[in-house]
Amino acid sequence: MSHFTEVTVSDFTQQLASPAPVPGGGGTSALIGALGIALGDMVGELTTGKKKYADVEEEIREMMARAQEIRKSFLRLVDADAEAFAPLAAAYGIPKDDPERNRIMEEALKGGSAVPLEIMRTCGQALDVIAVFAEKGSRLAISDAGCAAAACKAALQAASLNVFINTRSMQDKAYAAEIEQEADALLEKYNALADRIYDQVFSGLRG
């Protein structure tokens, strides 16, 4: 399995545009999330060490440490999504009259939905941190905090689609409903938070 986080941006986008099954939407959403939280972390870097923000220095440093761990999680999930998709791609190739097809497909669908759901959870963690950067970080970098929130919202929504495309095909409807309930809750909570951050930044820039 390729390590997509180790290739150039040009190579990643070229592979993404190809007919190859991976990387796909899930890995792309994780990468977008990594870019978003990295941008948030940059706001922290531009805030610390400044006398004007000495009263929030400790909190900003704590958020920066969290941001760095979240970025690592996102990058891990880029490759994890590709690994999870491989069994699903193989399952679709099993003849429909194979008695094992349904069981194998169900397991693959569950595995295929697990990673994008984790990406959604990680987007939520990222937005919680970005909210602090937007509220307390350097005003000179406030636009970057807004961009970070917009990126993580996009990643959240993109990952959700990769959850729902798998749950809709599951035979275990109770399991599918449980997964969808969590995904819906994450969308409701963190779309709203991302919008609040963006609106706060936009209002500050436009007066």
Which domains are seen in the chain, by residue range? 25-206 (1.20.120.680)
pLDDT in tens, 84-125: 988 888 888 898 888 889 899 999 999 999 999 999 999 999
pLDDT in tens, 162-205: 999 999 999 999 999 999 999 999 999 999 999 999 999 999 99
> Is the distance from CB of 1 to CB of 79 less than 8 angstroms?
yes
pLDDT at 2: 60
What are all long-range contacts of 89-95, with beta carbons under 8 Å and residues at least 24 apart?
89/21
Distance, CA of 96 to CA of 81 (rounded, Å): 25
Distance, CA of 104 to CA of 91 (rounded, Å): 6
DSSP 117-155: HHHHHHHHHHHHHHHHHHHHS-GGGHHHHHHHHHHHHHH
